[in-house]
């Protein structure tokens, strides 16, 4: 029994998640600062 389940999509997804989270956080921070600046 190998530790690898033989699922390539899961690996690519695991690599993509951090990027998606980072982008979401960055967008949220930008919007938050923009709203604070506009007021």
pLDDT band at 39, cuts 50/70/90?
A: confident
* Separation of alpha carbons 31 and 37, rounded Å: 10
Q: What is the pTM of this model?
A: 0.55
- Side-chain-side CA neighbours of 38 within 13 Å: the count stands at 6
**3-27: pLDDT as tens digits:** 565 556 666 677 788 899 999 999 9
d(CA 29, CA 39): 16
């Amino acid at each position: 029994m190998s530790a690898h389940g033989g699922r390539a999509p899961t690996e690519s997804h695991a690599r993509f998640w951090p990027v998606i989270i980072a982008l979401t956080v960055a967008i949220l921070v930008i919007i938050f600062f923009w709203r604070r600046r506009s007021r």
